[in-house]
Structure 1
Amino acid sequence: MASRLQQVSGHLTGSNTSANKIGVKSPEDVVIVSALRSAITRARKGGFKDTLPEEMLSGVFKGVLEQTKIDPALVNDITVGTVLAQGGGATNARMAALHAGFPESTAISTVNRQCSSGLQAVVQIATAIQTGLIEVGIGAGFESMTKNYGAASLAPTSEKISDECQSAADCLIPMGLTSENVAADFKVSRAKQDQFAAESHTRALAAQKNGWFKSEIVPIKATVEDKEGNESVVVVDQDDGIRAGTTAEKLAKLRPAFDEQGTTTAGNASQVSDGAAAVLLMKRKTAEKLGLPILGKYITSAVVGVPPRIMGVGPAYAIPAALDKAGISVNDVDLYEINEAFASQAVFSVDHLNIPYEKGKSPIGLNKEETY
């Protein structure tokens, strides 16, 4: 909860870029050859409400294998990010890999770095490839907030530790209240949060209507049970949390969700969701040998801890660290993708770094190589 990982994404350009990392293609580059996901559906109400997490993840794994036609035996290791799954999701992830067609020789592990768990999974695989530990790997993530959200996902904690260390006690603050802390500490107004949230829905709706998400979503068959207990099979292939007609004016009418005097509402916070994703990585020379398209080049990553009571501000501090490692500046990046768990923390991160808001408005086109 106290740390975030933020990868800088998009076209990296400009005179300050580090040529040896960004401007030159090398056979030793770690590259992305497939990046797929399931649709993201509303927990307890959406298309995956009766689907177990390993079923979603298996569907995405199958999509990666089908898209790339890669021999599953070539994948040495898979790391899966998950936060809420019981037992760390280790059994679920292993089941998904085997069910999708990976052999028992393909190793698997899970990792929990809270909101950046999926990113951390990609980083661990990319680092293993960079250092020569493996040749080919998958960084993935899954979550069923229908199955694991709330009390079922909470573990007992020490009152002794909480009593003796305030920062440790702050780790137990519900995320909604950390959003309120961010808004209060950094004077992020309700109006600005609502405007940001409305714009987010508008951009997502436009992307959906234009089919920009279609190539990255793996259609997955899911069994859905209605209120009478009747089951039906549906194909889930579209995000269902995007709300057409959302405006800042409409959002302004919603009541605060976590604090009666607060500014965080159901409209300027993210929904609870179900979904899965996977990224296939290898060295450039391996991709070229296998005849696979290169969608992106992985450069570097960074993690920075922040106070738990305002945990959502992590990107504001991890992004500069990642940029420094890459040898570039904020202005050298054409496109940013920042976690939008709450509008308060996203707005703060963008404003703190002086990132133009339009740099978050363009869709990533995966028909040409991107640098990450």
Structure 2
Amino acid sequence: MEASSNLNALLRKNPDDVVITMAIRSPLCKAKKGGFRDMRSDELLTEMFKQAINHSGIDPEVIEDICVGTVLPKGPTYEARTAALTAGIPESVPIQTLNRFCSSGLMAVTTIANEIRAGQIDVGLAVGVESMSWNPDVGPEGASDDIKACGPANDALQPMGWTSENVAHEFNVSREDMDDFAAKSFQRAEAADKAGYFAKEIVPFTSYLKDPATGVRKKVTVSKDDGIRYGTTKTTLLKIKSAFPQWLPAHTTGGNASQITDGAAAVLLMTRRKAMELRLRILAKYANAAVTGLAPRIMGIGPTIAIPKVLAKVGLSKNDVDLFEINEAFASMCVYCVRKLELDPEKVNVNGGAIAFGHPLGATGARQIVTGLNELERRRGKVLVTSMCMGTGMGAAAVLLGEFE
């Protein structure tokens, strides 16, 4: 397909471009059961920082700011700062944390990109991380009577499973549609795993697992995702009982929703000028991002608003996009988003998604960039769009342009 004039303009290289020179992730491991189950959240983050330093190709003193996207820790900035120092990042490198639910990893990337674009820094590190083993998601801790009396505000406090059922009901997404989508996610992830595609984006992590007999933790190396269920079919998924029978149409199950998972990802960004000075390989150019709000009761449809918004900002159409990475929070929302935006299913989550290998809340936004760029390079594509919905009724999306120099 011939590139549009707007795409050609975006692909032009300028010294002030914000570029990505490293995009790596941990394996994704089942919470409470997988390879990181006995690892503290600050230990997981420390290991991510160590791996980022090892794979960055730069002295960490060059980093001028770090942004960590994470959702569940009670003291996130304490964890981030102490983990960075423990990993060997100098005291002179500042750090910040942010929480915009499922987009936190993407927002960390966007925050660093905006700082670079504004001229505040030349080099920054974005990290997304979540240990759902160490910090289980317990939901909101309550609300005032005034908030409970406000319909949309009260909706924003409700469980995410309820919002999945609302999307399925309101937009006529059937159980068969959802299980068909979920089966494809597992099958694509299995095929990509067997082909070794993920090995190019995953960096092996040192973890600590307790000996069941002694309770003593021992070091182990974790190098593969452990949530992919080989041999999954629509037929097997249709046999799983509803996870939320109290909410109609009760189509959401443990087989067609994202897995509860531990994991992390890291993205190094800088100006093109700095990357050339440091002689670093450029993977992609950061184009732009967009966020939006919407009715909390159908929060899953966020990508249907955020994706057109970000494409309009950069002057592209969906036909210019080679790959979409849309977070599979629930199959109901993914089925609807693909249908509503009239996307080519062969361009969406081509190596599976969160249904197949998990959704560590703060990590997913960065993880999707890592996975998307890895596959974009394999296909020699040009345009990646990554997107997700977020609890309380929001959506986010970003456009990245592959270079792979």
| Alignment length (residue pairs) | 357
**Separation in structure 2 between the aligned mates of residue 162 and residue 301 of structure 1, nearest angstrom:** 32
**Separation in structure 1 between the aligned mates of residue 376 and residue 317 of structure 2, nearest angstrom:** 22
Q: Give every structure 1 segment of 4 or more consecutive aligned residues whose post-TM-superposition deviation is greater than 6 Å.
A: none
**Separation in structure 2 between the aligned mates of residue 84 and residue 259 of structure 1, nearest angstrom:** 27
Change (3 A) 1:207 1:256: same
Correspondence list, 1:1-372, <5 A = 14-15=3-4, 17-20=6-9, 22-87=10-75, 89-151=76-138, 154-163=140-149, 165-228=150-213, 229-260=215-246, 261=248, 262-360=250-348, 361=350, 364-366=375-377, 371=383, 372=400
What RMSD over aligned residues (CA atoms) do the two structures have, in Å? 1.7
Per the alignment, residue 395 of structure 2 pairs with none
- For residue 246 of structure 1, give the secondary structure of its aligned residue in structure 2: coil
Structure ranking higher on relative contact order (CA contacts 8 Å, 6+ apart): 1
1:56/1:276 contact within 8 Å kept = yes
1:57/1:277 contact within 8 Å kept = no
2:19/2:270 contact within 8 Å kept = yes
Deviation string 1:263-320 (CA, Å, 9 cap, x unpaired) is: 0000000110001111000011111111111111100000010111111111111000
**Separation in structure 2 between the aligned mates of residue 135 and residue 58 of structure 1, nearest angstrom:** 24
Structure 2 residue ranges without an equivalent (≥5): 352-373, 384-399, 401-405
Change (3 A) 1:230 1:62: closer
- Displacement of 1:369 in angstroms is 8.2
- For residue 133 of structure 2, give the secondary structure of its aligned residue in structure 1: helix
Deviation string 1:2-21 (CA, Å, 9 cap, x unpaired) is: xxxxxxxxxx963253443x
Change (3 A) 1:266 1:226: farther
Q: Letter of the aligned partner of 1:214 in structure 2?
A: A
- Displacement of 1:370 in angstroms is 5.1
- Displacement of 1:69 in angstroms is 2.5
- Displacement of 1:233 in angstroms is 2.3
Identity percentage over the alignment? 49
**Separation in structure 1 between the aligned mates of residue 64 and residue 274 of structure 2, nearest angstrom:** 13
- Displacement of 1:115 in angstroms is 0.7
- For residue 301 of structure 1, give the secondary structure of its aligned residue in structure 2: strand
Structure 1 residue ranges without an equivalent (≥5): 1-11
Q: Letter of the aligned partner of 1:364 in structure 2?
A: E
1:60/1:278 contact within 8 Å kept = yes
**Separation in structure 2 between the aligned mates of residue 208 and residue 278 of structure 1, nearest angstrom:** 20
Deviation string 1:141-198 (CA, Å, 9 cap, x unpaired) is: 11111121133x64342232221x1100011110111111111111111101101101
1:297/1:369 contact within 8 Å kept = no
- Displacement of 1:75 in angstroms is 0.4
- For residue 102 of structure 2, give the secondary structure of its aligned residue in structure 1: coil
1:16/1:329 contact within 8 Å kept = no
- Displacement of 1:200 in angstroms is 0.4
**Separation in structure 2 between the aligned mates of residue 369 and residue 62 of structure 1, nearest angstrom:** 30
* TM-score in terms of structure 2 length: 0.85
**Separation in structure 1 between the aligned mates of residue 201 and residue 45 of structure 2, nearest angstrom:** 14
**Separation in structure 2 between the aligned mates of residue 338 and residue 293 of structure 1, nearest angstrom:** 26
2:322/2:381 contact within 8 Å kept = no
2:322/2:382 contact within 8 Å kept = no
- Displacement of 1:104 in angstroms is 1.1
- Displacement of 1:40 in angstroms is 0.6
* TM-score in terms of structure 1 length: 0.92
